[in-house]
């Protein structure tokens, strides 16, 4: 009888421990309804939506950069930069993270910051011909034609039949940002 009680108490502890653990690690359930943003000022609506996006982003670097982009380009550069720094200071930062950050800075008209991010991206992925073309297009749009031509040349030598290389390089000469 005593052995049965010991087993029962052990099982009860195990079950209750599992329930506590499940409650602690359970992700909050996000429910979107237009009522959350209806009739709110634009800034307040954006904040509510970005808080939801942030919760959904979890540890995804691209997702976090997207939230930072909205803040940065939307006028809260400090909040956006804080997110960018958290992503790029992570020991798992990848070439694509630096590249996406370069795009954001280029969109913001901050060419020096964009160049730095693009250079870091290409240092991590020196054979990324698509990245070279896009970086070159942004360089061309920012009046750095020699840099653009050098990047176009390297990329076209690696992959001369890539349609988007031709379109993005050409577009940059017409003032069109790469897509």
CATH of the domain at 179: 1.25.40.10
Residues 62-117 have pLDDT tens digits of 999 999 999 999 999 999 999 999 999 999 999 999 999 999 999 999 999 999 99
Residue 119 lies in a domain: yes
What is the extent of the structural domain holding 39? 32-92
Residues 81 and 106 in one domain: no
Q: Is the dihedral of CA 38, 79, 72, 122 positive or negative?
A: negative
Residues 178 and 114 in one domain: yes
- Angstrom distance (rounded) from CA 124 to CA 168: 22
Residue 14 lies in a domain: no
Question: Cα 140 to the chain's mean position, in Å?
Answer: 24
CA dihedral 38, 39, 42, 44 (to 10 degrees): -80
Which of 92, 114, 138 finishes a domain? Answer: 92
Residue 111 lies in a domain: yes
Residues 118 and 147 in one domain: yes
Residues 116 and 174 in one domain: yes
**Residue % of the chain over a pLDDT of 90:** 74
- Residue that wins the pLDDT comparison between 105 and 42: 105
**Residue % of the chain over a pLDDT of 70:** 83
- Angstrom distance (rounded) from CA 96 to CA 62: 8
Residue 27 lies in a domain: no
Contact 147, 112 (CB under 8 A): no
Q: How many domains does the chain have?
A: 2
Q: Which pLDDT band, with edges at 50, 70 and 90, does 15 fall under?
A: low
Residue 98 lies in a domain: yes
Residues 79 and 149 in one domain: no
Residue 10 lies in a domain: no
Query: Is residue 16 packed enough to be buried (19+ CB in 10 Å), middle (13-18) or exposed (0-12)?
Result: exposed
Residues 98 and 86 in one domain: no
């Amino acid at each position: 009888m005593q052995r049965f009680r010991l087993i029962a108490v052990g099982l009860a502890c195990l079950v209750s421990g599992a329930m506590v653990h499940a409650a602690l690690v359970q992700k909050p359930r996000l429910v979107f309804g237009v009522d959350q943003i209806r009739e709110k000022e634009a800034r307040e609506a954006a904040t509510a939506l970005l808080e939801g996006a942030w919760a959904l982003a979890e540890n995804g670097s691209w997702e976090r950069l997207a939230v930072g982009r909205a803040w940065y380009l939307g006028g809260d550069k400090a909040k956006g930069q804080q997110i960018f720094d958290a992503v790029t200071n992570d020991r798992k930062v990848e070439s694509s993270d630096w590249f996406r950050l370069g795009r954001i800075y280029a969109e913001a008209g901050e060419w020096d910051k964009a160049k730095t991010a693009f250079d870091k991206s290409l240092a991590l992925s020196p054979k990324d011909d698509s990245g070279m073309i896009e970086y070159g297009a942004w360089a061309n749009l920012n009046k750095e034609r020699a840099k653009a031509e050098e990047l176009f040349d390297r990329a076209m030598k690696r992959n001369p039949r890539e349609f988007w290389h031709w379109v993005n390089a050409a577009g940059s000469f017409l003032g069109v940002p790469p897509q």
